[in-house]
A = this chain, B = another copy of it.
Amino acid sequence: MPPRRPTQRDIAERAGVSTATVSYVLSGRRGGAKPPPPETRERVLRAVAETGYQLDQAGRSLRRQRTDVVALMYPAPSSPWSDRLAEELQVAAADRGLAVVALPVITGASTAAILRILRQRYIDGAVLLHDCPLDGAELAALAAQGRSLVVFDDDLEPDGFDVVRQNRLRACRAAIERLITAGHRRIAFLSHADDHGDPLADVKLRSYTDGLAAHGIAQDPQLVRAVADSRPDAYAAVRDLLRLPDPPTALLSATDRAAIDGIWAARDLGVTVPDRLAVIGIGNIPEGLMISPPLTSVGAVALDFSDAVARLFERLDAEAALPGAELSAPWELITRASG
C-alpha cells in the first residue's frame, strides 16, 4: 500500500499555516490582496518539496468549475493534419497554462468512452475535426452546458459552437471538372475501401460520380479501384489500369499517397505524366510537392489552423456565452504539373 497522497492540509500542518495560505502560495492568485510574504511562501514551498505534494485536479476542478484542459478530437488514424493541429493547439494552450489531450476516434469502435470526456466536464473545450461522431443537437447541448467547441464541418449550422468550413465537396468537384474540361473521358478513381460509412470517403466518391454525371459521361466500374489506403495496392492497380486495352487517360485519387504511387507505376511503364496520364490527388500532403512531376492535389492550402485555435481560446476566455460563428478555411484545387 503506497503512503496516502499528501493534501494541502498536510502541507498546511507542516508549514504551520492554514490551507488557505497554501492555496494562495501555490496558485499565485489572491483576489486583489497582497500575496503572502516571502518567509511564509518559503515554508510552504519547502513542505511541498519535502512531501512531493501534487495538486489534485479533481478538487480544484470541482471548486473552480474549470479543468484547464482542452481536447482535440479527430478520426483515427492520425494524419499530418491532425498532428499539426495538435501541435498548434498544444503550443497555444501551453502559453495559457492549459493542457491538451488528443481524442482519436477509432472507426468501428465504441465512441461512448470518448463522448464521456466531452460530456462529463472532463475538459473545458475542444476542437473537433471533420467527421466526428456528434450531431448538431448534441453539440448544441454541450455548448449550452458551457463547453467551448470549434467544429470542422461543411454542413452543420453553428449553434453556441463555432463551425469551420472547408467546402471539401466543392474543391473535389473542381478537380474532376478540371480533368473533364481538359478533354478526359476515361478517368479512373482510386477510392477508399467502402466498408465503413466514412463521410469524407463519401464526399470524394460523390464528387467523382457527380462530376461524370454532370457531363453525361458513363461511369466505367472497371476504372474505380478501392486501393487508396494502400500504397502497394495503388501501385499495382494503376499498373493494371494502364495495361487495359482501353486505358484511362486521367486518374483521380482519394489520397495523395495512392496518387504518388500511381505516378511511380506510370513512370515504370514508360507512361508519361501528365501527357498520357493526368494525375490528381486529394489531401495535399507535403510529399506531393517533391515527386516529379509535382502532384496536383485538392486540400488545404497551408498547414495553418491558427484561426480555429484562436477562436477556441476566445471562447474559453469569454465572460458570457459567445454566439456560434462560421470560420472559413476552404480546400482548394492546387494545380501543379501532374494534372
For the complex formed, measure the closest distance between the CB of A119 and the CB atoms of chain B, giving whole angstroms. 5
- A60 and B57 CA atoms in complex are apart in Å by 12
The residue that A321 contacts in the complex, of B1, B52, B62, with Cβ under 8 A, is B1
The residue that A54 contacts in the complex, of B2, B54, B82, B120, with Cβ under 8 A, is B120
Q: Which of A73-81, A167-175, A180-188, A306-314 contacts B (4 or more CB under 8 A)?
A: A73-81
A264 at interface by CB-CB < 8 Å? yes
Q: Which of A110-118, A193-201, A271-279, A324-332 contacts B (4 or more CB under 8 A)?
A: A110-118
Q: A78-B83, A104-B86, A116-B99 are in contact. Are A94 and B110 (CB under 8 A)?
A: yes
Mark contacts of A82-96 with chain B using CB atoms, 8 A cut-off: 1 yes-contact digit, 0 otherwise: 110011001101100
A30-52 CB contacts (< 8 Å) to partner B: 52
Chain B residue nearest to A117 in the complex (CB):
B99
- A78 and B289 CA atoms in complex are apart in Å by 22
A61 at interface by CB-CB < 8 Å? yes
- A285 and B267 CA atoms in complex are apart in Å by 24
Cross-chain contact A76 with B69 (CB below 8 angstroms) = no
A16 at interface by CB-CB < 8 Å? no
Q: Which B residues lie within 8 Å of A109 (CB)?
A: 87, 90-91, 94
Chain B residue nearest to A230 in the complex (CB):
B290
Mark contacts of A61-74 with chain B using CB atoms, 8 A cut-off: 1 yes-contact digit, 0 otherwise: 11000010101000
The residue that A67 contacts in the complex, of B58, B82, B230, with Cβ under 8 A, is B58
Cross-chain contact A90 with B104 (CB below 8 angstroms) = yes
Q: Which B residues lie within 8 Å of A233 (CB)?
A: 290
The residue that A113 contacts in the complex, of B76, B87, B100, with Cβ under 8 A, is B100
Q: A90-B113, A94-B109 are in contact. Are A55 and B101 (CB under 8 A)?
A: no
Q: A104-B86, A117-B99 are in contact. Are A287 and B61 (CB under 8 A)?
A: no
Cross-chain contact B287 with A232 (CB below 8 angstroms) = yes
- A120 and B119 CA atoms in complex are apart in Å by 21
The residue that A59 contacts in the complex, of B62, B99, B117, with Cβ under 8 A, is B62
Q: Which B residues lie within 8 Å of A83 (CB)?
A: 76-78, 104
Give the 3 A-B CB pairs with smallest separation, nearest first. Answer: A232-B290, A102-B102, A99-B113
20 further contact pairs, Cβ within 8 A, besides A2-B321, A57-B121, A58-B121: A1-B321, A3-B144, A5-B146, A52-B141, A54-B119, A54-B120, A56-B121, A57-B61, A62-B62, A76-B87, A78-B78, A78-B83, A83-B104, A90-B104, A93-B113, A99-B122, A100-B113, A101-B103, A231-B287, A264-B264
Q: List, sorted by A's number, 5 A–B pairs whose CB atoms are closer than 8 Å.
A: A57-B121, A60-B120, A97-B113, A98-B113, A101-B102
